[in-house]
Structure 1
C-alpha cells in the first residue's frame, strides 16, 4: 500500500490539498490540479514523488503536443533512409519507435508519479485522446502488434492554468482540486520554508503591500506566490527594512516592483494612482 501524502518540509500543503492527493491515489484516478500560475501546481507533483519515495516522469505539454507523442512515435523517415542504405537494423521496426512519457511510466519496474503539465495548452481534443489510455492503463502499438500495459499503475497528476475548458468526459475521469491563492497565514508558512528567519516586521510590511497590490482594481496580472518569494529574496539581498518599504502618495509603486508587476499596463496603473494621489493633496 502506498504511503499517504502529508506535505514535505519544502512544500506547505493545506489540509484540503493533502486530502485531494490521497483521494486520487486511493481511487486510482488522475488528479487534475487547477489554480493561478505560480501557486505550486507543478511543484506539487515533485513533492508528492519525494514524499512517497517515487520517481517522477514529467511530460510538459505545449501548443503543438499531440496525445500520440505521450504513447510513442514511429520514425518512418529514418527507416526509409536506412532501407535505402541497406542498413541491417531496418528489419526490426522496434528500432524506429520512440517511447513517450506514458510508455515510460507504464513500463517502469516500480510505481512512479506521472506529471502531465499544463494540459490546457494543447489542442482541445488532446485530453479526450488520452481517455482510454489513462482509463485502461494500456495501449496498442500498431507497428509491432504489441500491447503495452502498466506494470504498476502510476500516480497521475495533471495541471491546468484554466486557459481553456476541458472536456466533460475527461473531467469525469479525474479527481479535481483547485489550489486557492494562499491567505496571509498560509503565505507566512510558505515564506518561512523559503526564507527562514525573516524579520517579522519586514514580512508584515511586505505581505501587506503584496496583498494590497493583488487587490488593486484594474490589475491585468496579479502577482503570484512564486513572484512574492522572488520579491522577498530581493528585499533581503538589498537588506531593506520595513521602514524602507513605506510609500508616500508620490510613489505608489513598491520597491523593486519588477519582481511583482510583469507588464507595462500594470506599472502605468500604479503611476496613474500616484498622480491622482498627488492631485488630491
Structure 2
C-alpha cells in the first residue's frame, strides 16, 4: 500500500527525486487517457438515441449538462466504437471566433519571408556591372520578390487548418470533432457557425485571391497532415461527427438549435454511478467501502453540486485512506467533495 503522506513538511527533505505512485487510469497522459475515457463512458438510452439520430442526419450533437456529467467523454466513445480516429478538439472561450476553428494564416511569418527574400536579392551584386547599374538591379530584384509574394507553393506553408477546418477537409473522413463548452463563446459564434454547419465548406481568402494562377494549393491540417485546397475552398467529402458541449449557462438562438440534435445529460443516479465506478476501477469493484462512499457522495451532492469524477477520485484513494484516523479521513473527503457551486 502506498504511503499517504507523499508530502510531509515535518519530515526530512528527500535526498533525490521522489517517485510518485501511479496515477489514476483516467489521469494517464496522451493516448492512454483518451482510451480510458472512451472505454469507460456509460451512455444512457437517451444519449444512444441522440447519437444515432445525429449520425443518420449528419447533424451536430449539442450535449447539455452540469460539469462532470461526461459530456466531452461521449465523443471519444463514439470515435472509438466507429473507428473515426483521433478526436479533433476545439476548446471554446469568450474570445473564440469562427476563423480560429477554420484556419490560421500566419501573415507575420509570410511578411518576414518576403523581407528576407528582398534582402538577399538586394545584397547579391552582379560581377562586372557599375555600381549604379547594380543598385538599379537590386531595386528591380526587390520588386520581383514582392511581385512573387503570392507564390502558391510558399503561400500554402503559412496556412494551417483549425480543428473544424481539419475535420471538414479530412481525407480519412468522417472525423470526430469536439467543440467544447460552446456556451462560453461570444454571442455571435453560434450564428457564425450556421453557414459552415449547413454547407460543410468554407473559403480561405488568402488562397482565393491567387486561385486563378494555380487552383490547387497544399496546406496543413492541425495535425500537420498535407491537405490540398482547390480554388481556395475547403469542402467535406463526408460530414464529420460533431459534438458540442454546453454547461447550460446560456440560451442559443433558434436557427442554431434547429440545426442541432439536442440531448441533456442529467446527474447520474446511484445505479449509474456504481456502474461508472466499476468501469473505471474494476479491481476495486468488490471494495466493501464503495457503497458507503457512494451514499456519502449522494448525500453531499444534495447539499451542493458535485461531479462524477470527484467520486472516482475518492474511490481511487480509498486504499490510501485506510489506516488513517477517522478525523483524517473526513478531512480528505472534505477536500475531495468540495462543492462546485
TM-score tier (shorter): 0.7 to 0.9
- CA 1:240–1:233 in structure 2 vs 1: closer, same or farther (change >3 Å)? farther
TM-score by length of 2: 0.67
Task: Structure 1: give runs of 5+ residues left out of the alignment.
Answer: 1-6, 267-281
Which residue number in structure 2 is paired with residue 188 of structure 1?
274
Q: How does 1:1-281 map to 2 (within 5 A)?
A: 9-55=39-85, 56-86=87-117, 90=149, 91-92=151-152, 93-110=155-172, 111-145=174-208, 146-196=232-282, 197-199=284-286, 201-216=288-303, 219=304, 222-239=305-322, 255-261=332-338
How many residue pairs get matched? 248
- Alpha-carbon distance in structure 2 between the residues aligned to 1:166 and 1:226: 28
What is the Cα-based RMSD across aligned positions, in Å?
2.6
Deviations 1:229-262 (A, max 9, x none): 1111112332379xx87x9xxx9x6752211115
8 Å CA contact 2:62–2:244 kept in 1: the answer is: yes
CA distance in 1, matches of 2:39, 2:162: 32
State the distance in 2 between where 1:131 and 1:231 align: 42
Give me the TM-score of the superposition, normalised by structure 1: 0.80
CA deviation digits over 1:178-236, x for unaligned, max 9?
Answer: 011101011111111112243364122111111111112xx3xx111011111111123
Aligned mates of 2:105, 2:331 — CA distance in 1: 53
Give unmatched runs, 5+ long, in structure 2. 1-36, 119-144, 209-231
Q: Secondary structure at the match of 2:289?
A: helix
Q: Is the 8 A contact 2:68 2:309 kept in 1?
A: yes
